[in-house]
Amino acid sequence: MASFVDRVVGAARLDARTYEEVEADPAAMGQAMVVVAAAALAAGIGSLEGGAIGALGAVGWGLVGWFLWAVVTWLIGTKLLPEPGTSADLGQMLRTIGFSAAPGLLNVLGIVPLLGWLVWLVAAVWQLVAMVVAVRQALDYQSTGRAVLVCAIGWVFYVIVRVGMAVMMGIGGLVFG
């Protein structure tokens, strides 16, 4: 079994064996959560918005987003678009998608003036590609195209939910603030 650091590096390298190992190891759930929280914290630090409270808020939203996206992706992949060999539980999806956040650790470099947008773009694309690998492995897909489709549908749903939550919180702030 690989170390935590080896798993993070393997996930960032898009190594399918790393995702298979994480999928098969229920004890890796805490590690996946740490990767998600660290990537969210890196994004919060890299954006320099909101100070310490903003960085902690980024971690909270990152963990909520990870859970929501994993649930939606698992449902789409296992119920709506399964392949004949598809077999996955929610824990497997949470672990693999959690590790797919590893490239997001780069977002801490967003603190460098004039590079923030480029770092964010590279990390975002890299994370999406890592998520496709994670989903393909977690759902035992033979087709990368199907994994791309599942991720795309899940992303649209995730964005709708996030925007809805932001609107509700904004309205809540107006009503209760």
- Give the closest residue to 69 by CA, choosing from 31, 36, 108: 36
List for the chain the helix, strand, coil content (%; round to 5): 80, 0, 20
Residue 157 contacts by C-beta under 8 Å, 6 or more apart in sequence?
A: 72
pLDDT band at 38 (very low <50, low <70, confident <90, very high): very high
The pLDDT value recorded for residue 160 is 86
Residue 161 Cα to chain centre, angstroms: 15
Tell me what pLDDT residue 9 has. 98
- The 10s digit of each residue's pLDDT in 75-121 is 999 999 999 999 999 999 999 999 999 999 999 998 888 888 899 89
Task: Choose the weakest-confidence range: 13-17, 29-33, 102-106, 166-170.
Answer: 166-170
92, two tokens:
């497997």
How many other C-beta atoms can be found within 10 angstroms of the C-beta atom of residue 158?
18
Q: What average pLDDT does the structure give for the chain?
A: 89
Say if residues 40 and 62 touch (Cβ distance below 8 Å). Answer: yes
- Judge whether 117 and 140 are in contact, CB under 8 Å: no
Residue 37: half-sphere exposure toward Cβ, Cα within 13 Å? 8
> Residue 19 pLDDT more than 80?
yes
Question: 140-154 in b/e burial notation, b at 16+ Cβ within 10 A?
Answer: bbeeeebbbbbbebb
Measured CA to CA in angstroms, residue 102 lies from 12, 39, 52, 77 at distances of 5, 7, 22, 22
Is pTM beyond 0.75? Reply is: yes
